[in-house]
A = this chain, B = another copy of it.
Amino acid sequence: MPIEPQEERQRRGPLMTGGTPLRSLDEDELLARILPTFPEGADLVVAPGDDAAVLRTGACTVATTDTVVLGRDWLDAWSSGADIGHKVIAQNLADVAAMGARPTGVLVTLVADPDLSLEWVLDHVRGVADACAAAGVAVLGGDLSSAPSGVVMVSVTALGRLDGEPVLRSGARPGDVLAVRGSLGLADAGLRLLQAGAASRHPVAVSRQRRPEPPLEAGPEAAAAGATAMLDLSDGLLRDGGRIARASGVVVDLDPAALAGDVDALMDAVGAEAALDCVLAGGEEHSLLATFPAGSVPPGWRVLGEVRASGAGERPGILVGGRAVSHTGWDHFRNA
């Protein structure tokens, strides 16, 4: 049953414009609405509101940052403020987990047109807070800044606690296997369905596009199980798998049979060619991709291929069934 636009709109949440403009509150009033909603997590010592927050840490802290911009990373028509909050937190926490660390805190910056609606901002803040609370992560602070007309961007920095050794991209060795934890291609299929105005054809894919579900606990688990390399799938299996291959100086060979089920599951919704594209090159999935010594793959991970040494004259890289497939993935400035 196709979703009614009206219902879909209500489900999406408040619009970015209309309602109460952000400029009708001063910064302190706005912060008074926002700060109480933020979770504190287990490791917070001093909450936001002073010059800086204080977080209890261990021997090592993992840090990463990622930014989303209205019109480039999301459209108001497709994603609510809460969706964007969930998504930007998920993609940052996925990077922390992909080092083998446990996410502990985030800082969130909103730079926005003062005509942006307060309702959107509060909905967005709720999304950020919910995603952090679900992961046991503290909101350590942030910044609010006004931007030229039409500009809305959210920048997040995520911190994590690392108790063992970090899992880098460069540690894959010949004889390892490549495995994934989580789905493949759903987020890209969801994007294509939104673009085609056909969200009802695969609601799970559309939901994954709006709110990725990185398997955060699987990052430290993989590290403990002896993962030799790991990253999260942000730019697609071929591009991200190729990063592991090149950083490690090895060849990663994907088994087409291991991907057939993922492709089949998307075929009805987006067609055969697009389904293959989604699985091989679809971005924003934020599943974890890792290499393990053969025989050490933890439960819940699916083996997708194998790692071997590059032959004479062969460059490190990724193959599918022994053959090169070209997909360049995304590039922010060239596609702008």
Contact = CB atoms under 8 A, between A and B. Distances in A.
Interface of A: 22-23, 25-27, 30, 45-46, 50-69, 71-73, 94-96, 98-99, 101, 105, 107, 109, 111, 114, 140-148, 150-151, 153, 155, 157-160, 162, 166, 168-170, 230-232, 331-334, 336
Contacts of A334: 23, 26-27
B63 A105 contact: yes
Query: In the complex this chain forms, how many copies of it are found?
Result: 2
12 contacts: A25-B333, A45-B60, A50-B169, A51-B99, A54-B63, A55-B62, A65-B141, A65-B157, A69-B145, A111-B155, A144-B332, A145-B153
Given A25-B333, A51-B64, A114-B336, 4 more contacts: A26-B334, A50-B168, A55-B63, A72-B145
Contacts of A50: 99, 166, 168-170, 231
Contacts of A53: 62-64
A158 B72 CA distance: 26
Contact of A26 (B142, B144, B331): B331
Contacts of A333: 22-23, 25-27, 30, 114, 144, 146
B331 A155 contact: no
B96 A52 contact: yes
A23 B335 CA distance: 9
Contacts of A159: 61, 63, 159
Nearest to A168: B50
A13 to B, nearest CB: 22
Contact of A111 (B69, B96, B168): B69
A206 to B, nearest CB: 24
A107 B65 CA distance: 7
Contacts of A105: 63
A62 B72 contact: no
Contact of A155 (B23, B25, B51, B109): B109
A212 to B, nearest CB: 15
Contacts of A58: 57
* Most chain B C-beta atoms within 10 Å of own C-beta, residue among A50, A143, A144: A50
